[in-house]
Amino acid sequence: MKLALIAGMLVLAAAVLGAGDEPLLGDYDAELRMAEDRSHVDCELMVRRLKELRANTYMWLMWHSANDWEDLHEFLPLAEEAGITVWAYLVPHSESGGKWPYSEPFKLDYVKWAEEIAELSLEHENLVGYVIDDFWGNFDKADRFSVEYTGEMVAAGKAINPKLKFYPLMYYRQFGLDFVEKLAPIVDGCVAAYPKDRAEIENALTFLNDEYVLPPRATVVFPPAVPSAPGDRGFLMQTAKVQKPEEAAVSFHYRDSYNGPTEGYHVMQVRVDDEVVWEEDAGGRDDADVRVDLSEAVAGKEQIKLAIGVFDKQGVGHYGLRAQFTDLQIHGLEMADADISNTEAWEQQIVGDFSVEFAARQTGEDKFNLPLIVMPSGSRSEYENRWGHEATANLMSAKVRMILELVAEGKVEGIVMYCLNKQEGSEDFEAVAAAYEEFWDARQEK
């Protein structure tokens, strides 16, 4: 993006950020350690590399060594002198114990963590908040982060330092009504990892800003940690009269909650009299409109049984799914009621542990506006794992620039790289540093 265009966006962002606020451009994890003692972070080297990155923020993970909390105390004054704000970063129950280390020294006592981080933040004003990894997967569980315990944790930190922020680490598919109703009232903002594109970030912002619009919908649900068998299914079915067979079609929007590469298990389908006329594997990112031609399937028939839902080609062991269907329209057919959210109109065909949820149109109430920090992958292995193709410095920096556009527009609070390689000579480091430098240069010019 041209510097002049970024500068124009920064002018627009000023009203959102406020006159004295500065957007966050930063990094997380992949800390550089002492050559002679790998149990300690090389704090001076870290600060130097962050300055060379043109970063003003660092999220300090406490997980790789029992000395990480101690090293944070050494890092904070060095970072403060360099103008770098710091967030403490903890791991949740699901990443602690067994084969995993704990965040030391307070392990799973997150109320204690909040209190100790708050006390430390009074000594070092550049310690501004804390993040807990993979929070949603551990949230709303009685033995982990119940709603009540999460509130107690946040309150404990704010009782010591009211300015202390708590941001959970989220993934974009996790923003929805449950987030709005249960977690949004507790937190100060969110960090969200691995955006696929701008549209995915902007959809999350509708929930963070309580301005979402959810159309009438039906959602086929398969629970996590539950096995299925080949042939298990969850379908909505309705009889339709064939009026104009040559024009017969069905159109709708579909999306699901799974973005991984695994294929050949859950498959979204449309069927006519149990004949498959359209299917889309739940593997990969699915969020699209489709029009399915039914003319051949209805030829010679006066009425049909139209079904839409999810079919298991192979049994799963631990593969939860939410497949949502909206904006259903029929063409050349007549139904009693084509409203996809009308429970009474649709017959359900359920085999196994599938279920169907119906919901009418819902909209946000503009009660809150939570900031978002976007975390793209700075790790080539994680990038390739997420997106299924080879990572390059150019590809990663292109995503950084896309996010920086949103920062410049004032739509997101900032960007923090996931595990950027900070070793000398890193091509990825240099590519991100160039993108950060362009942003700051444009901001200075505005």
pLDDT recorded at residue 21: 79
pLDDT recorded at residue 20: 43
CB 240 within 8 A of CB 248: no
Q: Are strands 287-293 and 249-256 parallel, antiparallel or unpaired?
A: antiparallel
pLDDT tens digits along 94-128: 999 999 999 999 999 999 999 999 999 999 999 99
Number of domain units in the chain:
2
Residues 247-272, mean pLDDT to the nearest whole number: 95
Residues 341-360, mean pLDDT to the nearest whole number: 97
- Integer Cα distance of 378 and 419 in angstroms: 5
For residue 374, what are the contacts with CB-CB under 8 A and spacing of at least 6? 191, 192, 195, 201, 403, 406, 412, 414, 415, 416
Look up the CATH number of the domain holding residue 418: 3.20.20.80
Domain closes at, from 362, 387, 421 = 362
Q: Indicate whether 228 and 348 sit together in one domain.
A: yes
Q: Indicate whether 195 and 70 sit together in one domain.
A: yes
pLDDT tens digits along 68-85: 999 999 999 999 999 999
pLDDT tens digits along 16-43: 343 347 999 999 999 999 999 999 999 9
| The pLDDT of residue 269 is above 80 | yes
Q: Indicate whether 208 and 222 sit together in one domain.
A: no
Instruction: Grade residue 9 by pLDDT with cuts at 50, 70 and 90.
Output: very low
Q: Indicate whether 159 and 177 sit together in one domain.
A: yes
Q: Indicate whether 34 and 128 sit together in one domain.
A: yes
Instruction: Grade residue 214 by pLDDT with cuts at 50, 70 and 90.
Output: very high
Residues 244-269, mean pLDDT to the nearest whole number: 95
User: What's the farthest any 2 CA atoms get from each other in the chain?
Assistant: 80
pLDDT recorded at residue 385: 87
Q: Indicate whether 325 and 378 sit together in one domain.
A: no
Instruction: Grade residue 156 by pLDDT with cuts at 50, 70 and 90.
Output: very high
Look up the CATH number of the domain holding residue 314: 2.60.120
Q: Indicate whether 221 and 110 sit together in one domain.
A: no
Q: Indicate whether 127 and 167 sit together in one domain.
A: yes
Q: Indicate whether 205 and 230 sit together in one domain.
A: no
Instruction: Grade residue 4 by pLDDT with cuts at 50, 70 and 90.
Output: very low
Two tokens at 347?
């017959």
pLDDT tens digits along 402-433: 999 999 999 999 999 999 999 999 999 999 99
Residue range of the domain that includes 424: 3-213+370-445
Residue type, 62: M
Q: Indicate whether 196 and 77 sit together in one domain.
A: yes
| The pLDDT of residue 10 is above 70 | no
Domain closes at, from 362, 390, 425 = 362
Q: Indicate whether 353 and 250 sit together in one domain.
A: yes
| The pLDDT of residue 174 is above 50 | yes
List 222's β-bridge partners, or say none.
321
Q: Indicate whether 62 and 84 sit together in one domain.
A: yes
Domain closes at, from 335, 362, 389 = 362
Residues 149-163, mean pLDDT to the nearest whole number: 98
